Amino acid sequence: MISLHVNAQENSSAATLIRDIYSNWVNDRPFAYQECDTFFYSDKVDTAIISKVKASFLSDKEFKEWDPDQAAYVKRKTRFTLEERRYIVAQLDLIKNMKWPAKMFPFAYMIPLEKVDPILSKTDQSKLKPQQKICMEVHHFSSPIFLRNNTLCFFYLGKSNIFSKEGAFWIYEKIEGEWKRLASIYEWSVANTGKYNKEIDFFNTP
């Protein structure tokens, strides 16, 4: 069960966005995760990442919009009022103290964030088959932040596995009842090379 301190309309939208993460995993299983029987997710989002999201949001007042048809950012930009920006910053601070409960989904297992890296390292060094190692992919997601009468949503999604870590904090826009990507606020990735981790930050990727 997903419990969020928001009104009924926002609660429904939040539940839908979060369920979609699990539904996408279920739908991808026949193609990419045939031997995987468990959906792994962390109990929270790293506060350091949220701090970077906050810094990126405060560093720019305009965010280039994403055009899925062109698969590129376009000249259109999304802007926010001072009041809206203060609200988003306050909500980001709340996310730092938020934790997800266990058993949010069927066939799912919650892993405390501080145990994700040790588990992935142990999995990578184990004698499991490669297909089984790939199954140990941990999903990270924030509680959605809604704005402008539930027509805009700020949402963080990330993944960690034996090969890499990545995450993205996007603004979504509700179009004809569905949430579509509108603009990126912060994106990052880390490649696990075995010798070192190379982190790449994408602030408002052009």
Instruction: Spell out the per-residue pLDDT of the chain, length 206, in tens.
Output: 333 334 556 677 788 889 999 999 988 877 766 778 899 999 999 999 999 999 999 998 899 999 988 888 998 999 999 999 999 999 999 999 999 999 999 999 999 999 999 999 999 999 998 888 989 999 999 999 999 999 999 999 999 999 999 999 999 999 998 899 999 999 999 987 554 344 556 554 43
> Contact at 8 Å (CB) between 158 and 45?
yes
Judging by DSSP bridges, how do beta strands 178-192 and 164-175 pair with one another? Answer: antiparallel
Domain ranges of the chain: 8-203
The phi and psi torsions of 164 (rounded to 5 degrees) equal -165, 170
Entry pTM: 0.86
- pLDDT tens per residue, range 59-118: 988 999 999 888 889 989 999 999 999 999 999 999 999 999 999 999 999 999 999 999
> Contact at 8 Å (CB) between 110 and 43?
yes
pLDDT score at 4: 37
Question: For residue 5, which of 90, 64, 125 has the smallest C-alpha distance?
Answer: 90
